[in-house]
Chain A
């Protein structure tokens, strides 16, 4: 098979795969041949170079034109472009933040696993086949199990890794079980969408309201919920996030979540969001429960890593709102009324702000121990004003407070749900869900502000010192700076998110929803809302 035909469209993915293998292979000889510093730094730096190269190629190639020849099971769309930009962009920050890890002699394996996971993320976005989708998601997840174990020479890290692995394997089994139902119910093809013999084509021609499809969707989404750490599959997060080094926890909050959300988009796009109401209701309940449970438990924590872990659960709930709202199916619809673009925007934003908060923790050390308790960051402002400022920016962004991008992210998500309108079959419940979301972000402010109060309003109690090199500090500056930058000019990211969301549903699919949406837009196009 001649792979070179696919180079124009999929060069970033090729670079990532080759780079990941190269970093992995480099490890063994480097350990044997070059003892000392060289072997320590090389894999990490190489991984950064690979990711940056892939990112630059992405920007150089620009948006997929649509005419590229695609390998079987893959498709190049604006969604892929967005994930390349967002995923690789945050990926570089993740690599920078983790450059000083791990302590042991396993750097090559560690960094190649991050590259493999990033590759999996890109392929998830490119997948146009149920099997490819499954393998891609697992390519994101399996390396993270290893990363958790490698990141720290600690019994807790190993334990976290084993737990994560077993539960992840179980969820993968559930998901693939659900996929098999969908395969059976939708004409025995694994192609997701496209002309001719595809699941989307079958779904648009048949009545989708049957038990097999419902069961298939629920089981598939159960697997996705695990990746998202959504209720009731959230119980692992605290243990797993607490185990490894803080900067690794930042990674865990991004890669599997992003892949899970994209998988959700892919599954729902098969039906053009015209799924049986039971599925939407389950998503609704899970979203509401995830927000509420995550925030409530986070309120009770004293360990900052656990607070951030449960805040990550809550954020999955917010993003699920965008997933349920779905894309705006019409060109004339308002620029941000579609939930998918709001969700995509928020996901990348969340990746950066969450990483930034974890990285600040990771940059601190208290007599050789990692800093985790909220008492350890008390008076951070007095000891390390720069770190405290970065922490404040990231936490304000998580909270959704100006002048940070988190505010706009929340506005986009909630307003996408509010703007659906009463004529949408699921309009009323979505508005209620958005209200629940708004209340939840108010609850969330309580524990976020506790972190900021600890940094700024208390006297320092413990002797913390800064660890990690310039790379970690660069990552922190970049993450927190990004929050300001994207507040001032969100279009840098949201425009791509918008065009990505526009491609998730094939244009030639016409569903009942489309007609409804058309009616909505017509009635809302007037700029005035006179009562």
Chain B
């Protein structure tokens, strides 16, 4: 691979969004004003172009597709090794970069129109774009970083940007509270994540991926000689180190998992994500659907050596993912706020990705991450377009039948919904099916949960679509609804194309397979193989062996694909019957199962539970500490300084005495030191 080209590209990918953000932030308030989007559009767009060139470079490189670029030495702590600013470019990074910068570009373009009302930029327009640029920069650091320190830096920086953007409308108390909640809940996960990185440093003495992963691998294999060579230590130390590594890796994995659970909104830390919808819709689309929340999955795939080493941890991840997937999907069934439905759907889909990782199908998880980025960003941006047209109202009970008013939005969202529902041949179908397949290989229950969630997903997605776009045309009073302009519609169109076709990166045409010619586990999986190898090495069994050829054999082999296609269509049909054909049916169901509906509507009372069990006691503790601080600590501090201040007061009153006083103090201090020292000699 052309290393200098890659270096230049990756520097461009980092610096362009940062420069755009800086430009928007510095020049925006005074000079650019309503044009503040331009630097960020160019910065992020340029980064996207560079990312795609980089992707092609890496894809064309064949076997040697991983390059470590050492930009410079950063700093050291103690006598240990240098922490470097180094970038790792490999297939996973290339795919992540392409997704992040591509979606970001579309979202930034979309925001140009979305963040104005009647062609007037909203308050804080330049602030919005500056933060967006900063977010893209941070996210690029997160996925490009070649060691755990840069990963952590990017991890925290995207968290900060998320906080700033959720609280963009900080005058609104609910937005400020949501931002705070997101930040604090993430702190819980990040605490574990930080400890995990610390434990890595204590165990391995360094933080760079290459050494840590290689040492972890050798340590698990008890390859003492190679380990001794790698770490330049003698054999006895190496065998000790190998013991330490094999005993500590599961703990490290669990600690890192804490971070992933927080950032990727899994049980039990998912509570911040629905509230994060207080931020502007482009933020929800970019940060809370397509990119930042997938950082946890990226990190787990990146650290495959660490995670895959322990079957128990992997099983835990799989169960966690499956539980989150079905849990969030059930809540989404009854929500009425479009963005919240999508938020719970995001949690549920992230659960699928966790399930994929936990079932050793890391390639499928990244595949789903990519397709999900397209269709979920599309759905959020579409919801934003609806919200824009409805004057800020997003509750599906207050409008309906928007099909004719918002034709383009409707069409693109329909594609996005179908992809999310797993409609055959669309993007979501391929990636979700692979994960369910992997889950069946792991444990039959996990697979069943995956299938049930798929039905629920199809149902709640189309419930939302039917309520919003079908039926009798209703708009909230005083709203003159209109279709959005081209800055909004073009990104929607591009994303819709992605929602249809992005699945085919992971599918290859093959004699036999789904419908006789489509076979999953295609180009993308092959491309990612160098990164996902640790998972493959630990997978229990390869996917079911080939059962002959021909159409019927293919059906027998691909029964799961046909089944999930059927279930998806079934879910959509049920939604159609309930919400279009017989709109009174949901009422009946609700009346039949009032308790279940009540519990779902209140999201299983998790927020209330956390509030009583954690938040209130902590708040009381905080109040107590504050009082202790005010009375006790301040009192002690005051007491400590009361003597110097008494001197100070007395000197102040005798103005002429001050100088002599200082001199006397100095002389007395010196005399004291000398006397003390001379007594000890």
Q: CB within 8 Å of B: which residues of A?
A: 162-163, 166-167, 170-171, 174, 211, 214-215, 218-219, 222, 226, 231-233, 235-236, 239, 276, 278, 281-282, 296-297, 299-300, 333-337, 385, 408, 411-412, 415-416, 418-419, 489-491, 494, 521, 524, 526-531
Closest chain-B Cβ to A232's Cβ sits at a distance in Å of 3
Chain A residues, CB < 8 A from B668: 232
- Additional A-B contact list (20), CB under 8 Å, known A334-B79, A334-B80: A211-B678, A215-B674, A218-B674, A222-B666, A232-B669, A232-B672, A278-B677, A278-B681, A282-B673, A336-B78, A419-B79, A489-B72, A490-B74, A526-B232, A527-B80, A527-B204, A528-B231, A529-B202, A530-B237, A530-B244
- CB pair B232 A521 closer than 8 Å: no
The residue from A231, A235, A281, A296 contacting B637, defined by CB atoms under 8 A apart: A296
- CB pair A419 B663 closer than 8 Å: no
C-alpha spacing A233/B665, complex, angstroms: 8
Chain A residues, CB < 8 A from B237: 526, 528, 530
Chain A residues, CB < 8 A from B76: 334-336, 415
- CB pair A530 B241 closer than 8 Å: yes
The residue from B244, B640, B659 contacting A167, defined by CB atoms under 8 A apart: B659
Q: Which of A171, A226, A334 has the most CB of B within 10 A?
A: A334
Chain B residues, CB < 8 A from A300: 637-638, 641, 645
The residue from A171, A211, A337 contacting B666, defined by CB atoms under 8 A apart: A171
Closest chain-A Cβ to B80's Cβ sits at a distance in Å of 6
C-alpha spacing A258/B79, complex, angstroms: 25
Which 7 A-B pairs rank lowest in CB-CB distance, beginning with the nearest? A232-B669, A334-B79, A419-B78, A527-B205, A415-B78, A419-B79, A337-B79
- CB pair B205 A233 closer than 8 Å: no
Asked if B626 is an interface residue, CB under 8 A from chain A, the answer is: no
**Known interface pairs A171-B666, A211-B678, A278-B681. Does A530 touch B240 (Cβ–Cβ under 8 Å)?**
yes
Query: Which residue of the partner chain B has the closest CB to A236?
Result: B662
Chain B residues, CB < 8 A from A281: 677
Q: In residues 183-233 of chain B, which contact A (Cβ within 8 Å)?
A: 202-206, 231-233
- CB pair A170 B641 closer than 8 Å: no
Chain A residues, CB < 8 A from B658: 163, 239
Convert B625-646 into 0s and 1s, putting 1 for each residue whose CB lies closer than 8 angstroms to a CB of A.
0000000000001101100110
Chain B residues, CB < 8 A from A218: 670, 673-674, 677
Closest chain-A Cβ to B195's Cβ sits at a distance in Å of 16
- CB pair A163 B659 closer than 8 Å: yes
Chain A residues, CB < 8 A from B663: 166-167, 170
- CB pair B79 A167 closer than 8 Å: no
Chain B residues, CB < 8 A from A333: 79
Closest chain-A Cβ to B36's Cβ sits at a distance in Å of 15
- CB pair A529 B638 closer than 8 Å: no
Chain B residues, CB < 8 A from A239: 658
**Known interface pairs A211-B681, A226-B666, A297-B641. Does A337 touch B78 (Cβ–Cβ under 8 Å)?**
yes
- CB pair B78 A491 closer than 8 Å: no
Q: Can you list 26 contacts pairing A with B, beta carbon distance less than 8 Å?
A: A163-B658, A170-B663, A170-B666, A218-B677, A219-B674, A222-B666, A222-B670, A235-B662, A278-B677, A296-B637, A300-B638, A334-B76, A335-B82, A336-B76, A416-B78, A419-B80, A490-B74, A491-B75, A521-B79, A524-B79, A526-B231, A526-B232, A527-B81, A528-B237, A528-B241, A530-B244
Asked if B29 is an interface residue, CB under 8 A from chain A, the answer is: yes
C-alpha spacing A167/B77, complex, angstroms: 39
The residue from B79, B203, B204, B670 contacting A174, defined by CB atoms under 8 A apart: B670
**Known interface pairs A334-B78, A335-B82, A419-B79. Does A166 touch B659 (Cβ–Cβ under 8 Å)?**
yes
Q: In residues 649-681 of chain B, which contact A (Cβ within 8 Å)?
A: 658-659, 662-663, 665-670, 672-674, 677-678, 680-681
Closest chain-A Cβ to B395's Cβ sits at a distance in Å of 34
Interface of A is mostly: helix
- CB pair B665 A235 closer than 8 Å: yes
The residue from B78, B231, B244, B674 contacting A418, defined by CB atoms under 8 A apart: B78
Chain B residues, CB < 8 A from A524: 79
Closest chain-B Cβ to A430's Cβ sits at a distance in Å of 12
**Known interface pairs A300-B637, A491-B73, A528-B231. Does A214 touch B79 (Cβ–Cβ under 8 Å)?**
no
Chain A residues, CB < 8 A from B672: 232
The residue from B79, B640, B662, B670 contacting A296, defined by CB atoms under 8 A apart: B640
Query: Which residue of the partner chain B has the closest CB to A421?
Result: B79
- CB pair A527 B641 closer than 8 Å: no
Chain B residues, CB < 8 A from A336: 75-78
C-alpha spacing A182/B553, complex, angstroms: 97
Closest chain-A Cβ to B402's Cβ sits at a distance in Å of 41
C-alpha spacing A73/B674, complex, angstroms: 30
Q: CB within 8 Å of A: which residues of B?
A: 29, 72-82, 202-206, 231-233, 237, 240-241, 244, 637-638, 640-641, 644-645, 658-659, 662-663, 665-670, 672-674, 677-678, 680-681
C-alpha spacing A300/B669, complex, angstroms: 23
Closest chain-A Cβ to B210's Cβ sits at a distance in Å of 13
Query: Which residue of the partner chain B has the closest CB to A520?
Result: B79
Chain B residues, CB < 8 A from A226: 666
Chain A residues, CB < 8 A from B637: 296, 299-300
Closest chain-A Cβ to B446's Cβ sits at a distance in Å of 37
Query: Which residue of the partner chain A has the closest CB to B640?
Result: A296
- CB pair A528 B669 closer than 8 Å: no
Closest chain-B Cβ to A57's Cβ sits at a distance in Å of 27
Query: Which residue of the partner chain A has the closest CB to B211?
Result: A527
Chain B residues, CB < 8 A from A494: 75
The residue from B72, B203, B233, B638 contacting A526, defined by CB atoms under 8 A apart: B233
The residue from B203, B666, B678 contacting A233, defined by CB atoms under 8 A apart: B666
The residue from A219, A232, A278, A528 contacting B204, defined by CB atoms under 8 A apart: A528
Chain A residues, CB < 8 A from B677: 214, 218, 278, 281-282
Query: Which residue of the partner chain A has the closest CB to B71?
Result: A489
Chain B residues, CB < 8 A from A211: 678, 681
Chain B residues, CB < 8 A from A236: 662
Q: Which of A215, A235, A296, A521 has the most CB of B within 10 A?
A: A235
Closest chain-A Cβ to B43's Cβ sits at a distance in Å of 18
Query: Which residue of the partner chain B has the closest CB to A238?
Result: B648
C-alpha spacing A278/B81, complex, angstroms: 34
- CB pair B662 A411 closer than 8 Å: no
Chain A residues, CB < 8 A from B73: 491
C-alpha spacing A415/B202, complex, angstroms: 15
- CB pair B75 A412 closer than 8 Å: yes
C-alpha spacing A415/B81, complex, angstroms: 13
C-alpha spacing A171/B79, complex, angstroms: 37
- CB pair A167 B666 closer than 8 Å: yes
Query: Which residue of the partner chain A has the closest CB to B202?
Result: A529
C-alpha spacing A491/B240, complex, angstroms: 35
C-alpha spacing A455/B240, complex, angstroms: 53
C-alpha spacing A334/B659, complex, angstroms: 47
C-alpha spacing A467/B324, complex, angstroms: 59
Chain B residues, CB < 8 A from A278: 677, 680-681
Chain A residues, CB < 8 A from B203: 528, 530
The residue from B72, B80, B206, B666 contacting A232, defined by CB atoms under 8 A apart: B666
Q: Which of A335, A416, A524 has the most CB of B within 10 A?
A: A335
Closest chain-B Cβ to A285's Cβ sits at a distance in Å of 8
**Known interface pairs A218-B677, A418-B78, A526-B233. Does A233 touch B669 (Cβ–Cβ under 8 Å)?**
yes
Closest chain-B Cβ to A164's Cβ sits at a distance in Å of 10
Closest chain-B Cβ to A229's Cβ sits at a distance in Å of 11
Closest chain-A Cβ to B11's Cβ sits at a distance in Å of 13
Chain A residues, CB < 8 A from B674: 215, 218-219
Closest chain-A Cβ to B280's Cβ sits at a distance in Å of 22
Query: Which residue of the partner chain A has the closest CB to B25?
Result: A389
- CB pair A528 B78 closer than 8 Å: no
C-alpha spacing A214/B673, complex, angstroms: 11
C-alpha spacing A163/B666, complex, angstroms: 13
C-alpha spacing A411/B74, complex, angstroms: 13
Chain B residues, CB < 8 A from A337: 78-79
Chain B residues, CB < 8 A from A296: 637, 640-641
Closest chain-A Cβ to B420's Cβ sits at a distance in Å of 38
Query: Which residue of the partner chain A has the closest CB to B77?
Result: A415
